[in-house]
């Protein structure tokens, strides 16, 4: 039986089509490598080359640590495919490094104010942020949820927790600005805090605090008793 490229395989057996259909987690290491290699060479399909790479180097870790020359020496790989593999390995390393790095930890409203105020000083409109934290209250990611007058319609729990759910955050701190310079919470601020805390209980992400930041200082809803610490 002669060489048969992946393009000639039944569509439901092709690695790329399977990834699109079932997701990357369902793929074997060889299938993922085949997608990176894209095409076969030297009478071998991309999947054949992928399996040979794994067999030669023993593991993805060893393959990632192999030199350019060691990879390109594999029959059918060559310089172009070796470059693709080295680039993919480096991207994976950088992604891991980025996800492993930790941001600042927040233990009080003053910590949040010191972190946020330089970013929002002088803004002429209200801006609402979500700070996503890990189990040690360290910052994973921050995101701007809305701009404009703070109201229930602008700060919907679905939008407020969307990125926190994606990031698997353990807890969140919400922050919004008062361009007037007065950080006294309005009745609307208090209602929004209660609504977000209830939504956090529902999705399993604790709301640690809601901070109002202004040129005149800040107000912590937790410290003022509008939010429970439980």
- Output the domain CATH number for residue 134: 3.40.140.10
> Based on the domain organization, do 53 and 138 belong to the same domain?
no
Q: Are residues 124 and 209 in the same domain?
A: yes
164 and 172 Cβ atoms separated by less than 8 Å? yes
Question: In Å, what is the CA distance from 122 to each residue of 178, 180, 215, 220?
Answer: 10, 10, 8, 20
The arithmetic mean of pLDDT across residues 151-164, rounded, is 75
Domain boundary residue, one of 100, 134, 152: 100
CA distance 148 to 125: 6
Pair 85, 187 in one domain? no
In a domain, residue 76? The reply is yes
What is the model's pLDDT at position 98?
59
Say if CB 15 and CB 32 are below 8 A apart.
Answer: yes
Q: Using 50, 70 and 90 to split pLDDT, how confident is the model at 7?
A: low
**Same domain as 140, residue 67:** no
Q: Indicate if 148 and 211 belong to the same structural domain.
A: yes
Mean pLDDT of 52-63: 91
Average pLDDT over residues 55-74: 90
Q: Mean pLDDT score of the chain, rounded to an integer?
A: 85
Helix (H) or strand (E) holding 131: strand 127-133
Question: Rounded to an integer, what distance in angstroms lies between the CA atom of residue 82 and that of residue 77?
Answer: 6
CA torsion, ordered 144, 208, 149, 213, to nearest 10 deg: -90
In a domain, 180, yes or no: yes
Q: What is the extent of the structural domain holding 212?
A: 109-220
What's residue 2's pLDDT? Answer: 45
């Amino acid at each position: 039986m002669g060489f048969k490229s992946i393009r000639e395989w039944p569509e439901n057996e092709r690695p790329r089509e399977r990834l699109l259909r079932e997701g990357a987690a369902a793929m074997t290491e060889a299938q993922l490598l085949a997608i990176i290699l894209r095409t076969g060479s030297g009478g071998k399909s991309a999947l054949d080359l992928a399996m040979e790479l794994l067999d030669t180097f023993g593991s993805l870790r060893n393959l990632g640590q192999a030199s350019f020359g060691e990879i390109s020496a594999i029959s059918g790989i060559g310089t172009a495919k070796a470059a693709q593999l080295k680039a993919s390995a480096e991207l994976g390393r950088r992604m891991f490094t980025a996800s492993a790095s930790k941001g600042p930890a927040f233990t009080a409203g003053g910590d949040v104010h010191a972190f946020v105020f330089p970013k929002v000083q002088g803004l002429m409109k209200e801006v609402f942020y979500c700070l996503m934290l890990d189990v040690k209250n360290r910052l994973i990611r921050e995101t701007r949820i809305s701009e404009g007058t703070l109201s229930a319609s602008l700060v919907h729990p679905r939008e407020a927790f969307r990125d926190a759910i994606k990031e698997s955050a353990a807890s969140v701190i919400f922050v919004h600005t008062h361009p007037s310079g007065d950080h006294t919470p309005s009745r609307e601020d208090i209602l929004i805090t209660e609504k977000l805390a209830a939504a956090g209980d529902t999705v399993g992400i604790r709301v640690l605090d809601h901070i109002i930041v202004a040129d005149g200082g800040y107000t912590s809803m937790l410290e003022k008793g509008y939010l429970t610490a439980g």
